[in-house]
Structure 1
Amino acid sequence: MNNNVSLITKNPLRTRKDVIELFHQISEPLLAYFSEGSARLHVGDTNAHYGHDIAGMEAFSRVLWGLIPLLAGGGESKLWKIYMEGMKNGTNPNHEEYWGEVHDFDQRLVEMAVFGYALALAPEKIWDPLTNVEKDRLYKWLNQINQKELVPSNWQFFRVLVNIGFASVGLPYDKEKQEESLLKMESYYMGDGWYSDGHNEQQDYYISFAFHFYGLIYAKVMKEKDQKRSREYIDRAVTFSEDYIYWFASDGSALPFGRSLTYRFAQGAFWSALAFADVEVMDWGVVKGLVLRHLRWWMKQPIFTKDGLLTIGYAYPNLMMSENYNAPGSPYWALKTFLVLTLSEDHPFWQSEEKPLPSLEKRKVQKHPRMIICHNEKQDHVFSLTSGQYLKSVHGQNDAKYGKFAYSNQFGFCIQKGIDGLGQGAFDSMLSLSERDGYYRVRKRCEVVKWEKNSLYSLWKPWHDVKVETWLIPINEWWHVRINRIDSYRELDTVEGGFSIPIEKDGVPTVPKVNQEESILQSENGVAVLLTLAGSGIRDMFGERTHTLVKTDPNTNVLYSSPTYIPSLKGSMEKGSVKWFGSAIFSSFGDEDPIPVWEEFPKVDQNEESFHVYYKGNIIYEAKFLK
């Protein structure tokens, strides 16, 4: 193991000094990978849709998200001399490493944002040392962003950051284009602190590490020049924090959901931005704990190469779950969380004693992301029941990242490796349907999504003549219920999966929680796997399906590289029939004996007018159908 990687795992991450040291530990292995003119970083040979040349510029720029806060907070880095040289060459049209003229929707427009950020936060480091000629070149290269089209999404903030950087050093900027981008982003605002990432059905981590992160930087830098908008951004971030805290578990991990998971600990950047903007939304010790526990959790994951470079993947290197815009240097966007390094040692963020998560509701309905989030602090388990999000752009594994019924910080979720069989399909937390040919379809875009009491209802069509209605109903920290009504004009096989559970962790086989013969519990209506790490199971509530354990291919789960077991139920339908499928999904973590909970499960009854879900003899949920 590279010495830096070893030191990262030993870094206690309790103090500002520790976090500064972490930045050095992550960034200094990059010293060997700069181009001759220092304007690019070549940290890998995989590619993205924009090609190797731009990918090298992207890698160069993304490290600045951590380097600039370090410098703005009074720190120093071995990298800075190289960065100044690279920036001068990259913006010089006469140099062979010139970053080039950009086009509409160009990836380099994304990477320009951090230079505006740098001009606003550390002008004495990046701007003042330049000659007049070098200043003019930097300005002209960045000003291209005011002449090009940006994707109608969080990209609009990139122009805003460049222009507030210009304003910070007294340069002219395009006020009309700036206002145009600000108004576009205003049109994405949904209320209650939530944006959509453009006019679409996507409310994922881009809301935290893009919209609010950039909005809080704007609020801090522009608080005197644009008081009204700055106040709005702060108020929205405060409201958003009341929902977003539920995405984090007490061990520091966060809910894996949506795209761009390879940015990893950027999930915690929102909390750093709150501190940067001096927004005292909750006890400073709580905010400090959210940031530091998150970093500690991530630094325990095998996310670095032996040379100390960040990899593409989530909890381990995994190209299969990546998007077409993930180049080797893309993961360094995670360094956004180092924004707290702008804060001096005497700031209340650093002076406060780290505190655990506050007391949270066990169940939180979040209407904008269309989630019911279940929180179990005792088991460090956070899972969401989800319906209705989907991505218009096909970047890779959209069905797995947005369309599943449930997502979990402890079980993760699986992606599809291939189309040959259930092991490659890895259909955890999904209902998959096949025309009896081995090719399966799952939920993609929902045609209808609505809240029904405390459940989440969706209507979706895997084929134009197959209609599926789904109710997702939380019961408690161990159980949730799914009711599916399928109206089909096709002969179908169906497979429904619970949470996937790894066969080994960190290269060590998971030891059964009970003896080997009893680690897989089978009953008339279900199957469960009970291992030391966790327990996962599924029960059929109508008694028509058979249970099975699906063993997935390795590297399909975003948290665990080993194959996983998915407790599953198999069923079938004849052409022109309507069928009800009900399942109770079991999950368990920690030392508590799971067997008594597994044996006392939710039940359901159903007729032509309604269905009722019971647990321990009490009605938990009732749905009446419209005729």
Structure 2
Amino acid sequence: MTYDPASANPLFGNSLQTRADVEQGLRDLFDPLLPYFSAGGARVRLDGAGAHFDRAAADLEGFARPLWGLTPLAAGGGDFAHWELYRQGLANGTDPDHPEYWGEVNSTDQRMVELAAVGFTMRMVPHLVWEPLPQKAKDNLAVYLKHARQFDYADNNWKFFRILVDLGLEECGVAFDRSLTERYLEELDGFYLGEGWYRDGNVRRIDHYIPFAMHFYGLIYAKLARGDEKRVAAYKERAKLFAQDIQHWFDEDGGTLAFGRSLTYRFACGGFWGALAFADVEALPLGKIKGHFMRHLRWWAKKPIAHGNGVLSIGYAYPNLFMSESYNSAGSPYWALKAFLPLALPADHPFWTAEEEAAGFDAAPVPLKHPGMVAFHTRGNVVALSSGQQNWQMRAGTEKYAKFAYSSRYGFSVEVDERSYHSGAFDGALALSDDGRHYRVRETNETAQIAGDTLHAVWKPWVDVTVETWLLPANPWHIRVHRITTPRALHGTEGGFAIDRADLGADTYIDEKARGIAKSKTDLSAIVCLVGGRDGRAFRALPNTNLIASKTIVPQVRGDIPAGTTILVTAAMAMPSGTDAEAALANPPQAPDLAALEALFAREGVDVSAILVPERF
């Protein structure tokens, strides 16, 4: 029996075709939270799971994050019956003498993150959350926000949180030190790379924080700031440039590239499209922007993303703690409500009256030089070949950033047993073992370059082993070339894309010399060894490893790698089942000429921005 999302997704059954549908979807997402508000309204505690910050901060997270959707709803004239509950919560949470006090900020603190939603709400709907408060509550709220904003925020997108608080303080007539605002605006400009792309701090990674944080907050500022015309114009122009690239992190059905951390925020990934509409930035034709936005919500409406009580789970396409971050409390997923920003626009706004347009993608590869990717579109999917980024701080950071290929339809898998080499999924990766039990995969790069639509990276799984990897699109396939230099014998396992696995052996598993193939009712996935003489297998991965499907099959090719230098060439693909998939399977690509690849990068190779930051531990 298939898991029925009707019992596990408040959006299920909503056609999400109109503004009224989107408004209803927001209410349906919020309503399951009501039983979990504390008596004084200041805290929302959804379950017993913990995060690295304290319980009061987690409870504030549960309280504040729904405001990212509720505030636009009210600003756009929508009814919401529980503003008195939020007024109570703001008064009690900032009152040091109240038992539901959120606790004082005295350094970099999770509370800084959540207070951004409070500042945003004060700026957008002061008549609902500020003006009705008694003077003592106003004083406490102002003192709390001003105290928090004086401390250093994390050196990344967090700097926008002070700016959002300041927008609220300004709107409510509260005096504050504006030099701190200007300082952070200047420092945020220092993260800009060009052509619409930022990095999120001094890190070797560029992920969804660029659309759903850096641009999202920048576009809010562009809409709400008074004055500062030069920076407002810059934010809008950067967003226009960024839209040309980031549209290729979405597929024709609305799914987004599963890549990087914080994916439990789910449809926050589509918040960029809503923010363009909110700020009146027509980066693409308005019908295309609306199409990306609405399809994204509809894609999520079909997934079992909530618990049986309707509360959003930690996870991605289903509840999954394996892929979570140490900063994910039970309230964290409600950053997804950032997607509802366009509800601030009236029903007669051109965004809402526009006819949706299809994405209009073709099969041509799309180089994305700043994140070091080459994207290409297949039916209901986008694949991004990745030169590899680095994240050693997050759980499963290697799987989230350093695989060779990522996908919207097939997601990626996180490993759940690092001491069981032969049980690894290794989708989109090459795993190497020198003892048959432990393994190494790419975690970071020595160098990473892009030349046209081809990627090259040098990585060292051990200090004495060097791997060079080239990645080439061959839509619907992609090709991986590895040159491995090792002083000792190794064993290697390389995986294709993971697809959903049925119960009772209902799928087809093909284990052959040089190729592994998995066929299900809905999808076909294959990996072929073009050079290297490895054996294929269709591997039943451990449960709850993949972000999209809880049980999967991963085609792999495996074999011994002798001491010395070995060349391996692999082709991989996955597609929805049908004649197109079978035709592609019958026509794998040819191995490229290695000398020609080397000459290409000697002539045209450009360093990938994501790797051009010094390591910091």
Q: Give the aligned partner of residue 431 of structure 1.
A: 430
Q: Trace 1:607-622 onto structure 2 (pairs within 5 A).
A: 610=595
Q: Trace 1:186-585 onto structure 2 (pairs within 5 A).
A: 186-222=189-225, 224-360=226-362, 362-376=364-378, 379-392=379-392, 394-422=393-421, 424-476=423-475, 478-504=476-502, 512=507, 519-562=508-551, 564-575=552-563, 577-585=564-572
Report Cα offsets for 1:445-483 as digits up to 9, x if no partner.
11100113421000011111111100001112x211000
Letter in 2 for 1:600: N
Q: Give the aligned partner of residue 574 of structure 2.
A: 587
Q: Distance in 2 between matches of 1:278 and 1:66?
A: 18
Letter in 2 for 1:163: D
- Residue 421 of structure 1 and its aligned partner are, at CA, apart by 2.5
Report Cα offsets for 1:350-372 as digits up to 9, x if no partner.
11122221345631100011110
> CA contact under 8 A between 1:423 and 1:552: conserved in structure 2?
no
Change beyond 3 A, Cα 1:408–1:586 = same
Letter in 1 for 2:246: Y
Q: Trace 1:89-128 onto structure 2 (pairs within 5 A).
A: 89-128=92-131
Secondary structure in 2 matching 1:321: coil
> CA contact under 8 A between 1:103 and 1:148: conserved in structure 2?
yes
Residue range with higher mean Cα deviation, 431-440 or 41-50: 431-440
Q: Distance in 2 between matches of 1:511 and 1:209?
A: 39
Secondary structure in 2 matching 1:451: strand
Q: Distance in 2 between matches of 1:256 and 1:340?
A: 24
Letter in 1 for 2:531: F
- Residue 510 of structure 1 and its aligned partner are, at CA, apart by 8.7
> CA contact under 8 A between 2:287 and 2:355: conserved in structure 1?
yes
Report Cα offsets for 1:393-420 as digits up to 9, x if no partner.
x121101100100011111110011124
Q: Give the aligned partner of residue 29 of structure 2.
A: 26
Unmatched segments (≥5 aa) in structure 1? 513-518, 614-620
Report Cα offsets for 1:362-393 as digits up to 9, x if no partner.
311000111100112xx11101000132125x
Q: Distance in 2 between matches of 1:83 and 1:261?
A: 27
> CA contact under 8 A between 1:423 and 1:553: conserved in structure 2?
no
Secondary structure in 1 matching 2:322: helix
> CA contact under 8 A between 1:5 and 1:25: conserved in structure 2?
no
Higher relative contact order (CA 8 A, sep 6+): 2
> CA contact under 8 A between 1:510 and 1:531: conserved in structure 2?
no
Q: Distance in 2 between matches of 1:474 and 1:453?
A: 11
Letter in 2 for 1:572: D
> CA contact under 8 A between 2:42 and 2:88: conserved in structure 1?
yes
Change beyond 3 A, Cα 1:41–1:487 = same
> CA contact under 8 A between 2:422 and 2:437: conserved in structure 1?
no
Q: Give the aligned partner of residue 64 of structure 1.
A: 67
- Residue 511 of structure 1 and its aligned partner are, at CA, apart by 5.5
Letter in 2 for 1:597: A
Secondary structure in 2 matching 1:556: coil
Change beyond 3 A, Cα 1:207–1:94 = same
Q: Distance in 1 between matches of 2:574 and 2:135?
A: 63
Q: Distance in 2 between matches of 1:453 and 1:242?
A: 17
- Residue 597 of structure 1 and its aligned partner are, at CA, apart by 2.2
Secondary structure in 1 matching 2:15: coil
Q: Distance in 1 between matches of 2:174 and 2:603?
A: 63
Q: Distance in 2 between matches of 1:612 and 1:280?
A: 39
Letter in 2 for 1:385: L
Q: How many matched pairs?
A: 601
> CA contact under 8 A between 2:527 and 2:571: conserved in structure 1?
yes
Change beyond 3 A, Cα 1:186–1:175 = same
- Residue 622 of structure 1 and its aligned partner are, at CA, apart by 6.5
Report Cα offsets for 1:121-173 as digits up to 9, x if no partner.
11111111122222111111011233211110101100111112112222212
Q: Distance in 2 between matches of 1:510 and 1:19?
A: 40
- Residue 541 of structure 1 and its aligned partner are, at CA, apart by 1.4
TM-score (norm 2): 0.93
Letter in 2 for 1:500: A
> CA contact under 8 A between 1:28 and 1:78: conserved in structure 2?
no
Q: Give the aligned partner of residue 151 of structure 2.
A: 148
Letter in 2 for 1:78: A
Q: Distance in 2 between matches of 1:353 and 1:11?
A: 19
Q: Kindly report structure 1 stretches of 4+ aligned residues shifted beyond 6 Å.
A: 1-4, 621-626
> CA contact under 8 A between 1:146 and 1:174: conserved in structure 2?
no
Change beyond 3 A, Cα 1:199–1:10 = same
Q: Distance in 2 between matches of 1:554 and 1:317?
A: 12
- Residue 93 of structure 1 and its aligned partner are, at CA, apart by 1.2
Report Cα offsets for 1:575-602 as digits up to 9, x if no partner.
4x11111111122225324333222222
Report Cα offsets for 1:480-519 as digits up to 9, x if no partner.
1000011112331111111112212xxx67965xxxxxx3
> CA contact under 8 A between 2:431 and 2:493: conserved in structure 1?
yes
The alignment yields a C-alpha RMSD, in angstroms, of 2.1
- Residue 90 of structure 1 and its aligned partner are, at CA, apart by 0.4
> CA contact under 8 A between 2:417 and 2:424: conserved in structure 1?
yes
TM-score (norm 1): 0.92
Q: Give the aligned partner of residue 617 of structure 1.
A: none
Letter in 2 for 1:439: H
> CA contact under 8 A between 2:6 and 2:13: conserved in structure 1?
no
Residue range with higher mean Cα deviation, 60-69 or 541-550: 541-550
Change beyond 3 A, Cα 1:29–1:389 = same
- Residue 606 of structure 1 and its aligned partner are, at CA, apart by 5.5
Q: Distance in 2 between matches of 1:611 and 1:86?
A: 65
- Residue 187 of structure 1 and its aligned partner are, at CA, apart by 1.0
Q: Distance in 2 between matches of 1:263 and 1:239?
A: 24
Secondary structure in 1 matching 2:27: helix
> CA contact under 8 A between 1:246 and 1:360: conserved in structure 2?
no
Q: Residue 77 of structure 2 is aligned with which of 52, 74, 77?
A: 74
> CA contact under 8 A between 1:88 and 1:138: conserved in structure 2?
yes
- Residue 527 of structure 1 and its aligned partner are, at CA, apart by 2.0
Letter in 2 for 1:245: Q
Q: Distance in 1 between matches of 2:266 and 2:505?
A: 25
Q: Distance in 1 between matches of 2:316 and 2:39?
A: 31
Secondary structure in 2 matching 1:242: helix
Change beyond 3 A, Cα 1:623–1:548 = farther
Change beyond 3 A, Cα 1:63–1:612 = closer
- Residue 5 of structure 1 and its aligned partner are, at CA, apart by 5.6
- Residue 16 of structure 1 and its aligned partner are, at CA, apart by 1.3
Q: Distance in 2 between matches of 1:612 and 1:189?
A: 31
